[in-house]
Amino acid sequence: MPTLPGVHLKDEIAKISQRLKELGHGRHLDRAVWDKVELARHPKRPYTLDYIEHMFAGFIELRGDRCYGDDPAIVGGLAAYQGRTLMVIGHQKGRDIASRTERNFGMPRPEGYRKAQRLMLLADKFGIPVLTLIDTPGAHPGIAAEERGQGGAIATTLMCMAKLSVPTVAVIIGEGGSGGALALALSDRVMMLENSVYSVITPEACASILWKDAGEAQLAAQTLRMSSDDLSQLEVVDEVLPEPRGGAHRDHVAAAKVIKDALEEKLRELETISPRLRKKERFEKFRRMGVWKENGLTLF
Amino acid sequence: MPTLPGVHLKDEIAKISQRLKELGHGRHLDRAVWDKVELARHPKRPYTLDYIEHMFAGFIELRGDRCYGDDPAIVGGLAAYQGRTLMVIGHQKGRDIASRTERNFGMPRPEGYRKAQRLMLLADKFGIPVLTLIDTPGAHPGIAAEERGQGGAIATTLMCMAKLSVPTVAVIIGEGGSGGALALALSDRVMMLENSVYSVITPEACASILWKDAGEAQLAAQTLRMSSDDLSQLEVVDEVLPEPRGGAHRDHVAAAKVIKDALEEKLRELETISPRLRKKERFEKFRRMGVWKENGLTLF
Amino acid sequence: MARKVSVDISRRGGNTQNGAQSCPGCKELLSPEELRRNSMICPHCGHHFRMTARQRIELLSDPDSWNEIAANLRSADPLEFFDLRPYPDRIEEAEYDTGLSEAMLTGTAKMNKMDVVLAAMDFSFMGGSMGSVVGERFWRAAEEAIETRFPLVVVCASGGARMQEGILSLLQMAKTTCAVELMGEIPVPFITVLTHPTTGGVLASFATLADVIIAEPAAFLSFTGPRIIEQTIKEKLPEGFGLAESHVRHGQVDLIVPRLELKERLVQILGMLEGGVACALQPLWEEEARRSGRGGAFAQAFDRIKALAHSPRRPPQG
Amino acid sequence: MARKVSVDISRRGGNTQNGAQSCPGCKELLSPEELRRNSMICPHCGHHFRMTARQRIELLSDPDSWNEIAANLRSADPLEFFDLRPYPDRIEEAEYDTGLSEAMLTGTAKMNKMDVVLAAMDFSFMGGSMGSVVGERFWRAAEEAIETRFPLVVVCASGGARMQEGILSLLQMAKTTCAVELMGEIPVPFITVLTHPTTGGVLASFATLADVIIAEPAAFLSFTGPRIIEQTIKEKLPEGFGLAESHVRHGQVDLIVPRLELKERLVQILGMLEGGVACALQPLWEEEARRSGRGGAFAQAFDRIKALAHSPRRPPQG
Ligand SMILES: [Zn+2]
Ligand SMILES: [Zn+2]
């Protein structure tokens, strides 16, 4: 950037910023966004195992990463689905204090992601489509988790999903928190329940970093555009699934039916395509993610 | 087995056994076998990193299983070999007290085997042949190692070697102890240094289990047929490599030259074969291992 | 913290004179008939006693559906192994005591009408140790699974390698692993059931290479024997060490299934894996075969195993 | 046991008025010129200071061999993101302060005469955060590597995702992973150099997916930021936590290479990986291509990436 003599750009920028900050704080706070954040975290919201119970005639949970441990924050297994089979993998939160602790509030450790990879590869071997259900505040922040390679575990899970030759469908059912959520969402089709959220960072953490004030979480949530409507507009999700009136927690069975119907439709679409083309389209989909300017033009 | 009235087979068997036991103990103890066990364990015998130093112009050690840890009891990395590349992986013992402890006496933990797998797959990706050097009393016996899946780690390493499409050559350079050794030896060609040993169990452990007397280790060593000559006769190894006079420890450089020359010859053989055929021959080789009777005939 | 206990992998309980034994779980005295009637499960505390291979086959296969394969294989004595007794002597005794031809039986069977290849190991035959016959039977079972495309179920129970066959017993780990790899190329579903105890070379080869690994409650699973570990660490093992429940927590086992639910659960899982194969891979293979003109992945793996099955073996001796 | 320390990932050392700074390693006062001359390494204790992307390119590429690619990409503001300041404002300031167009520069270069695709991140551009431009530049670099079959070297330094691009920044993790997967199909050698600090979404995507992962001495590597972990565990982190040396012990990093040896070591490793590709895979591909009549794995992956490169994108807006 060229600088002109006598013009102290940084000072100018600082002045403008201050003005804009004042303007920014005056923005209309849309209560609807925060309502969705609260619904997404509602303690009675159906979790992965609830959906599995209501969607499938049978489910065999398969455990462990064959290496270090079994992480209860991610569950997975074989589900009987209209006379055939699905591999279902999802984050799992606990409902009461004991199970919340056991499930670590749905925050996976590396062994959870490695279990997910193992199950995906098992599904791939037998041509079983993979359904992932996403509901986590994020990957577990902790010393031992870092030492066991939290970053690498998420990255290799993404890589694993990129490689799969079976159809893959992801549904964000609650909190889609950061890399910990994305790890299970590199899918051919990504859907979102109406009152779920999906974001690069929790609104609280974003507020404390950018606004230097965790109390601005509502503003952060709105600014991050983490609601299903926003994400649909940004073309990050393929479809928003309507919830039962008042939210999924009001009627678990009806919420499960919504997902099941959508899943069926997506699988029908995906199975008409050859594995090779499906993978190509998956790559094209994620290759298009992002917005930038090139030679002055904004590209999506 | 049909039993005849009045004949108590078990008693008969016991009587015959006692007679045979007396005979057995009178067997000639061949001192040469135990000499080889002692040479194989000689504290000055060259180890994997010694061979690497003397065989290759360059070596880049690559560490870690990308999951839990880096096991110093198995080393591996890229080696510059006649203008091209080899992946070399081997057990590593320590020479002094500190390094013996650090290397855990060459007894790998699961992360050692998983590192070996990772490096093998890296080699396979880039068409780099894999050389394994085997020298371990066995896999580490310990609580944490079992909890992290010692059995599964060995099994999946065997599986990994079975799958590889690159040429693979294994050389037993010292102690080939049990599953901990075999894990790195499911190779297209398996060679053995003259004074190395390869066995399902250490002679000491065998003696204490079968003879109820660890002092019978020399007899056990002989009975187990763990010397290179025996294994060559049993067609478990493809070739026995002669050591410098007095043993490999007398001349590390000459011992390395022996391995290098043999390696070159084997790689030349293997690289004329297509990957598909090479893998087929590998499977045939290990499928033939074992001796049994079928319809009364002894089959090899 | 944890109580230290000495692990007894034989876990027989005490025998009394009339053949009754006290349950290691609850110390109740149980007669052999009572146990047999109840699938070798203690009716008082649910402790799972060891089953013989024949009991296992009876438990898992539909009546009259068992057809043994590779029945004529018998151990040879390639090393002329002689410790306190000659190896053939030990084999003969094991045959006499168990009425079995080796430590693993292999065959085809139906499980709730589903065709499977089934193998069952027997700890009472020389500690369920794996020698050349166990390895070759495993290979034949895998071959059968590949040729028929029936899934393979193996019930494991083993103290490890058959020392009397020396290095050849060790190499059965490599051999059985190659067989698993060939099954994976089809793919044929492969499930192992790890029962008390599964250790050593069996645990470190096919037992842990299955698509789904099931364990029976409280089965002791360990690569290294408990006594060797105790010698190494110079103290008793903590309570619960090596048990199936611990292995599930440590990520090594998919699920624990009580014996009385085992057959149903196996059928369910196999059906699900087959469901995947049947619905999704079939058209994929056909498409690939059509496009490459080479018969597809399935045909290739099939050709390979056929070729191996008929590969030249050295002329029979002895 | 371990001393507790607060981790400062910016690790600047104290600045004094004449621009000199005290070394965090040995507290010696160092002038900017002194540091620059010495590749930003403390001449007293060897502490590696952060380098800018341009310094990194200068360090690693032969003189005059750098050709930037995707230079014309610039961040847009798809979310119209506004916290205390608007996002475009922050971008403009970063451009001004660093003289860079974004947090990653990509190009081709020669390293000891070897052709490579090279990318360097710059922590001083908005904390090296990954937004759409970083993701797209990574994609273009991978594309270039696949088309030219030059290996790809990426020097990482990142505080994580670019929050101001919201979910789109998160998705760069998926996008860059897809690019790595495509490179793997050729295969093109891919090496990352993790420098201080590499965290968040970059660590959890391409940075840890390389064939060989190198780290600089004492580089701080962590998925979660140190402050968040400290808040969670409610105490200071143990000394050495998250440092490259610890990650090597924990099996996450292949090797640590001091900066002054980096170029030579990279060339050596790349040469070795290429040695494999050149000697062994080439005939394999040709054989496969000949047999299948479909052009082989390489041709297929190449076709794929070409197709993606020219796949329809929505018409330019704005
Ligand atoms: Zn009982
Ligand atoms: Zn210093």
To which H or E segment does residue A17 belong?
A: helix A9-25
* For residue C11, pLDDT beyond 70: no
Nearest to B70 by CA among D99, D254, D275: D254
Residue C69 pairs in a beta bridge with C106
Cβ count near A258 (within 10 Å):
19
Phi first, then psi: what are they for B36, rounded to 5°? -65, -40
State mean pLDDT over D282-299: 43
Q: Which helix (H) or strand (E) holds B91?
A: strand B84-91
Tell me what pLDDT residue D19 has: 80
Whether B67 sits inside 8 A of A66 (CB atoms) is no
CATH topology of domain B28-299: 2-enoyl-CoA Hydratase; Chain A, domain 1 (3.90.226)
Q: Please tell me the pTM assigned to this model.
A: 0.91
- Cα(A52) to centroid(ligand 1), Å: 36
Residue B113 to chain A, least CA–CA distance (Å): 11
3-state class of A115 per DSSP? helix
Within 8 A by CB and 6+ apart from D261, the residues are none
Q: Å from D291 to nearest chain C CA?
A: 9
Chain B positions contacting chain D at CB under 8 Å are: 58, 60-70, 78-80, 83-85, 111, 115, 122-123, 125-129, 165-166, 271, 274-275
Give the number of the ligand closest to the Cα of residue D43: 2
For residue A62, list chain C residues with Cβ-Cβ distance below 8 A.
Answer: 212, 254-255
The HSE-up count of residue A184 (CA atoms within 13 Å, CB side) is 41
Cβ distance D212 to D191 under 8 Å?
A: yes
Q: Could you read off the pLDDT of C165-190 as tens digits, one per residue?
A: 999 999 999 999 999 999 999 899 99
pLDDT at A5: 44
Kindly list the distances between the CA atom of residue D224 and the CA atoms of A105, A198, A298, in Å, as whole numbers in the listed order: 17, 18, 32
Lookup result for tokens 């040993």: B197
Q: What gap in Å lies between CA D64 and CA D71, rounded to an integer?
A: 17
**Given this model, what pLDDT does residue B136 score?**
98
Q: Is A296 helix (H, G, I), strand (E, B) or coil?
A: coil
Can you give the pLDDT at residue D296?
Answer: 37
Instruction: Tell me how far the alpha carbon of residue D29 lies from the centroid of ligand 2, in angstroms.
Output: 8
- Taking an 8 Å cut-off on Cβ atoms, the answer to whether C204 and B231 are in contact is no
Summarised one tens digit per residue, pLDDT across range D188-205 is 999 999 999 999 999 999
Does the structure show a pLDDT above 80 at C28? yes
**Which of the two residues, B41 and C292, has the higher pLDDT score?**
B41
Q: How many CA atoms lie within 13 A of B291 on its CB side?
A: 19
CA distance B78 to chain C (A): 25
Each residue of C52-101: pLDDT tens digit?
Answer: 999 999 999 999 999 999 999 999 999 999 988 999 999 999 999 999 99
**Distance from C294 to chain D by nearest Cα, in Å?**
8
Question: How far does the centroid of ligand 1 lie from the alpha carbon of residue A291, in Å?
Answer: 67
The mean of the pLDDT values for chain C is 86
User: Which residues of chain B fall below pLDDT 70?
Assistant: 1-27, 299-300
φ/ψ of residue C214, rounded to 5: -105, 145
Domain boundaries, chain C: 1-49, 51-275, 276-309
In angstroms, what separates the C-alpha of A178 from chain C's closest C-alpha?
25
Provide the pLDDT for residue C285: 40
Give the model's confidence band at C228: pLDDT under 50 very low, under 70 low, under 90 confident, else very high: confident
At residue C17 the predicted structure's pLDDT band, cuts being 50, 70 and 90, is: low
Judge: C294–D294 Cβ closer than 8 Å, yes or no.
no
* D contacts of C292 (beta carbons < 8 Å): 292, 294
Most A CBs within 10 Å, among B63, B65, B66, B67, to test the A interface: B67
Which one-letter DSSP state was computed for residue D165? Answer: G
Cβ-Cβ contacts under 8 Å, B20 against chain C:
82, 85-86, 89
3-state secondary structure of D190: strand
Confidence of residue A84 (pLDDT cuts 50, 70, 90): confident
> Cβ–Cβ of A142/D229 closer than 8 Å?
yes
Strand-pair category, A84-91 with A130-136:
parallel
Which whole number is the average pLDDT over A157-169?
97
Neighbours of chain B (3+ CB pairs under 8 A): A, C, D
Q: How far apart are CA D177 and CA A157, in angstroms?
A: 10
State the average pLDDT over residues D257-276: 93
Give the residue from B63, B65, B68 with the most A CB atoms within 10 Å of its CB, the best one to mutate: B68
D99–chain A nearest CA distance, Å: 7
Cα D22 to averaged position of ligand 2 atoms, centre (Å): 8
Is residue A113 within 8 A of residue A183, CB to CB? The reply is yes
Kindly tell me if the per-residue pLDDT of D279 is higher than 50: no
pLDDT band at residue D13, thresholds of 50, 70 and 90? low
Per-residue pLDDT reduced to its tens digit, A229-240: 999 999 999 999
Pick the CATH number of C51-275 from 3.40.47.10, 3.90.226.10, 2.102.10.10, 3.50.50.60: 3.90.226.10
**Alpha-carbon gap, residue A225 to A203, rounded angstroms:** 10
Mean pLDDT (chain D, rounded): 86
Look at residue C313 in the predicted model and tell me its pLDDT: 34
Measuring CA to CA, which residue among B190, B171, B197 is closest to residue B91?
A: B171
pLDDT category of residue A36 using cuts at 50, 70 and 90: very high
Mean local confidence (pLDDT), C110-136 = 97
Chain A hits for C280, Cβ within 8 Å:
84, 126-129, 166, 271
pLDDT at A298: 73
Lowest mean pLDDT among A12-16, A194-198, D311-315: D311-315
State how far the alpha carbon of B87 is from the alpha carbons of B282, D8, D183, in Å: 19, 39, 21
Q: Both tokens of residue A111?
A: 């062994």
Does residue D289 surpass a pLDDT of 80?
A: no
Predicted confidence (pLDDT) per residue in D123-137, tens digit: 999 999 999 999 999
Q: What confidence category does residue C7 fall into, taking pLDDT thresholds of 50, 70 and 90?
A: low
- Would you call C149 an interface residue with chain A, using a CB distance cutoff of 8 Å? no
| Residue A281: C-alpha distances to residues A70, A267, A275, D178, D294 (Å) | 33, 15, 10, 11, 21
Contact D218, A196 (CB under 8 A): no
Count other Cβ atoms within 10 Å, centred on residue C268: 16
As a whole number of angstroms, the distance between CA D120 and CA D96 comes to 18
* Mean pLDDT (whole number) for A76-84: 89
What ipTM was reported for this prediction? 0.91
Could D272 and B65 be called an inter-chain contact, meaning their C-beta atoms sit closer than 8 Å?
A: no
Q: What mean pLDDT is predicted for residues D45-62? A: 96
Q: Which residues are registered as beta bridge partners of A193?
A: A241
The full 3-state SS of A51-97, as one line of letters, equals HHHHHCCEEEECCCCCCCCCCCCEEEEEEEECCEEEEEEEECCCCCH
Tell me the torsion sign for CA atoms B206, B210, B215, B220. Answer: negative
The span from the CA of D289 to the CA of A245, in Å, is: 58
Number of helices and strands (H, E) in chain C?
Answer: 11, 13
Contact at CB, B127 and D268, closer than 8 angstroms: no
